[in-house]
Each structure stands twice: as structure tokens, then as C-alpha cells.
């Protein structure tokens, strides 16, 4: 098996494999490598390891040496020269009035070749510009057009999440991103929220797409009805990171159960029923059956309990004197007050006459009781003291 070492070049999009050529660099070391463009300065990302020969795309370029202190200082001088070359590049583009946007400049390690990167929507005729740059820098000039994603990777920046751009942090080729990935993850289809600094769909939409796709293939769809011990419920929401399903019942109550607590009741491998254990653990109290009341036999009353209630009853009787239907204690003061009131003279005389008539009628009735039952007739009250009709 051939041995390779992973090296990251400053303007490369991914880690490249090189032949260590007997060297044993460690991750973080700087090395000088040979590429198709010439001699370049790179950083070791992977220590030497063996790979099958079938995985090698082409013949490996060798690692010339591990960078020395002089090599590192020379690379720092080239970076300063690149910063000085960019203003000249922008000035010449403005003078030629070319529809292109200068992005960056790169000096190869030998210093005899400069690569200028620019972005443009269409192809640009920059032959005159190459002549102007060559006369200014006295080196071989290479102009390379790149896309907006490569521009964001070279310039760098901070994304919506507050972290460094993914294209800068993670090496690798750009993978296609579609709007379907945003729909699958239930993201708002607002271009301002799902687009990166480059104006294209964010690269991070690919990271969780497979997880969402796998979860939704195992979970019930939104709007589907699920069987539960409390009746059918409608699926209203799916939580992919937690793998939970939220459902609503007809009375408005909601419940959230894990997908592992659901099973298929139709034999087609679709989760359409909530198990009893999951329902008991996740259902609100309104959906759970009320516990049956426990009947406790009352103990027979004893004499001690009756005697304990007597003082309470007496208190209630004493308190009821002021009520409408009060007891004897409340009525006695009222009767005494009525008896103490003096009667008018006319009423006293009429009462005396009535009393005499009653006595006489009583003797007559007593005489006629010998064989017939006593009959009582109602008195006709026409005035103050009329005598009752005799029998």
C-alpha cells in the first residue's frame, strides 16, 4: 500500500494527498510541496498513513521538505506582497472598465508567478489587463475566474449562526444544495433566511437533511389520525431532533409522545397507534380515566358520639331565636311583650260580651248532647263581637 500525507494549501478547497518521500511530518507542520502550478507552501492536516492503490486518483506529487524558519519568513513576505498587489489589480480593472470583481491575489512560493482571482457573471476579455499586470509586477500572470461560493471561501466571514463560514472551516468540494432540503426541514422559504453571504443557499442545509428524511420516513405524516386509548388524535407537529410526535384530540387537548412509543396496528409498518405505556406517561390528566371512588363502611354511632353532638344541637337552637322560624326561647319574649300591651276600652267590652255568650251557648250545647254528636259550625265574622248562630 502506498503511504500518503494530507496537506492543505492556502487557496485550495480541500486537503490534498502527497507522497511523504521519506519525511515524517506531524499535523500542524509546514511543508514545501510540488504541484502542477509549481512549488507551494502548505500545512499538514493528516499524518502519513497507508491507503489502497485503487483509491489514488493519479500519481502523487512529493513533499520536498519540511519548512524551515527561512521558508516561513519567506512565506510571510509573499503574503505582504499579495496585500500590496490587490490595490494595483483593482485600479487597473477600473481603468479598463471591465465588468469583474477582484477577489484575491496569490504568489507562488518561488515568487515568479502571481495568480489573480476575480468573479464575474459573464466571460470577460482580460487580455489587455494581463499585459498591464505583467508590466507592473514583472512576473508571469494568471487570471482565474471563480464563482460566488469560492469567493466567499477566499474572503471569509461570519454566517447567520455567528460562526465562521462553513466553506472556510470545512475543506471539501461544494455539494449541490436544493430548495427541497429547506422544505424537508420545515424551514421558512424566505431567501434572506436560507441564503448565505454568497447569495446562494446555505451549505449547512445539507448537514441535517438525511436525518430529517430518515425520521419522516418512519413517523406519521402531519394531518394523519392516530389511535390512542382515549380515541383518535390528529398529528399536528413533528420534532426531528427529539424524535417526538405531537397530536391533538377532538376536545382540544394535546399530547406529545416519542416515536418509539408508537406501533403499527395495520400490518403495513406505519406508526398509527400509541401504546398504553406511552399514553399513560405522556397524556395530560384530562385524558386519563378518573380513579374509582373507594367505599368505606361507616362505623355505627355510639353513645359517646351522640352525647358529643348534643351540645352542638343546643347551640343551634339557641342561635335560632332571631330567625323567622325560631324556637321557644325566641317566641317567649314576644308573647310577654304582647300581653303587657294595654287593650282599648271598646275591645275589652266586646270581649266581655263574647265571653258571656259563649258560656250560655256552652250550657245549651251541653243539654242537647245526650243523643247527638257535637257539631261545630264556623262563625261568621261580620264585625267586632257578633254572637254565633245557635244550634
Which pLDDT does position 376 carry in this prediction? 58
Residue-level pLDDT at 367: 43
Question: Does the pLDDT at position 313 exceed 90?
Answer: no
From its phi and psi, is residue 304 left (phi > 0), alpha (psi between -120 and 50) or beta?
A: alpha
Read off the pLDDT band of 131 (50, 70, 90): very high
CATH topology classification for 218-282: SH3 type barrels. (2.30.30)
Q: Determine the pLDDT at residue 44.
A: 92
Nearest-angstrom CA–CA distance, 47 and 224? 53
Q: To the nearest 10°, report the CA torsion of 27, 30, 31, 37.
A: 110
Give SS3 for 42: strand
194, burial (CB in 10 Å: exposed 0-12, middle 13-18, buried 19+): buried
Cut 0.75: pTM above it: no
Are 31 and 16 a contacting pair, CB within 8 Å? no
Binned at pLDDT 50, 70 and 90, residue 280 comes out as confident
111, 105, 103, 145: which is closest to 125 by C-alpha? 145
Assigned CATH topology for domain 74-146: GMP Synthetase; Chain A, domain 3 (3.30.300)
- Decide if pLDDT at 288 tops 70: no
Taking the domains of the chain in order of start, what are their residue ranges? 3-67, 74-146, 173-213, 218-282
| Rounded Cα–Cα distance for residues 48 and 63 (Å) | 11
User: Which pLDDT belongs to residue 391?
Assistant: 35
Mean pLDDT score, 343-347: 48
Beta-ladder partners of 16: 7
Q: What are phi and psi of 247, to 5 degrees?
A: -135, 155
| pLDDT, averaged across the chain | 78
pLDDT band with cut points at 50, 70 and 90 for residue 107:
very high
Average pLDDT over residues 95-100: 90
The least confident of 10-14, 304-308, 349-353 is 349-353
Tell me: the pLDDT tens digits for 37-47? Answer: 888 999 998 88
For residues 77 and 348, the model is more confident at 77
**How many other CB atoms sit within 10 Å of the CB of residue 255?**
20
Q: How far apart are CA 240 and CA 228, in angstroms?
A: 21
DSSP state of 162: S
Q: What is the pLDDT of residues 199-255, one digit of tens each?
A: 889 988 988 899 999 998 888 888 889 888 888 889 999 999 899 999 998 888 888
Question: Residue 144 to residues 114, 119, 120, 269, 312: CA-CA distances in angstroms?
Answer: 11, 9, 11, 54, 105
**Residue 328 pLDDT grade (very low, low, confident, very high; cuts 50, 70, 90):** very low
Average pLDDT over residues 5-32: 88
| Whether pLDDT at 333 is above 70 | no
pLDDT at 72: 92
Amino acid at each position: 500500500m502506498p503511504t500518503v500525507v494530507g496537506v492543505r494549501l492556502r487557496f485550495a478547497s480541500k486537503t490534498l494527498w502527497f507522497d511523504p518521500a521519506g519525511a515524517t511530518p506531524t499535523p500542524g507542520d509546514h511543508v514545501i510541496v510540488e504541484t502542477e502550478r509549481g512549488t507551494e507552501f502548505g500545512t499538514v492536516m493528516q499524518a502519513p498513513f497507508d491507503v489502497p492503490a485503487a483509491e489514488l486518483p493519479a500519481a502523487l506529487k512529493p513533499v520536498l521538505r519540511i519548512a524551515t524558519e527561512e521558508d516561513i519568513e519567506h512565506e510571510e513576505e509573499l503574503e505582504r506582497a499579495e496585500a500590496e498587489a490587490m490595490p494595483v489589480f483593482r485600479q487597473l480593472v477600473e481603468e479598463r472598465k471591465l465588468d469583474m470583481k477582484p477577489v484575491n491575489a496569490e504568489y507562488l512560493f518561488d515568487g515568479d508567478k502571481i495568480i489573480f482571482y476575480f468573479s464575474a457573471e459573464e466571460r470577460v476579455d482580460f487580455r489587455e489587463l494581463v499585459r498591464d499586470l505583467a508590466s507592473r509586477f514583472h512576473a508571469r500572470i494568471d487570471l482565474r475566474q471563480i464563482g460566488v461560493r469560492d469567493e466567499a471561501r477566499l474572503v471569509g466571514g461570519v454566517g447567520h449562526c455567528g460562526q465562521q463560514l462553513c466553506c472556510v472551516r470545512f475543506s471539501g468540494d461544494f455539494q449541490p444544495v436544493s430548495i427541497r432540503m429547506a422544505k424537508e426541514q420545515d424551514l421558512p422559504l424566505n431567501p434572506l433566511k436560507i441564503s448565505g453571504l454568497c447569495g446562494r443557499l446555505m451549505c449547512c442545509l445539507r448537514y441535517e437533511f438525511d436525518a430529517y428524511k430518515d425520521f419522516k420516513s418512519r413517523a406519521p405524516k402531519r394531518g394523519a389520525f392516530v389511535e390512542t386509548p382515549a380515541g383518535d388524535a390528529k398529528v399536528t407537529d413533528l420534532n426531528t431532533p427529539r424524535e417526538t410526535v405531537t397530536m391533538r384530540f377532538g376536545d382540544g387537548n394535546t399530547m406529545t409522545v416519542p416515536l418509539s412509543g408508537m406501533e403499527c396496528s395495520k400490518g403495513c409498518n406505519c406508526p398509527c397507534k400509541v401504546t398504553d405505556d406511552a399514553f399513560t406517561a405522556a397524556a395530560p390528566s384530562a385524558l386519563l380515566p378518573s380513579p374509582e371512588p373507594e367505599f368505606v363502611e361507616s362505623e355505627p354511632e355510639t353513645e359517646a358520639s351522640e352525647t358529643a353532638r348534643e351540645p352542638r344541637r343546643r347551640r343551634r337552637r339557641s342561635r335560632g331565636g332571631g330567625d323567622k322560624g325560631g324556637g321557644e326561647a325566641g317566641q317567649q319574649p314576644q308573647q310577654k311583650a304582647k300581653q303587657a300591651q294595654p287593650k282599648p276600652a271598646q275591645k275589652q267590652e266586646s270581649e266581655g260580651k263574647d265571653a258571656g255568650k259563649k258560656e250560655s251557648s256552652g250550657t245549651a250545647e251541653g243539654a242537647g248532647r245526650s243523643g247527638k254528636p257535637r257539631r261545630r259550625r264556623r262563625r261568621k265574622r261580620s264585625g267586632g263581637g257578633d254572637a254565633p248562630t245557635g244550634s
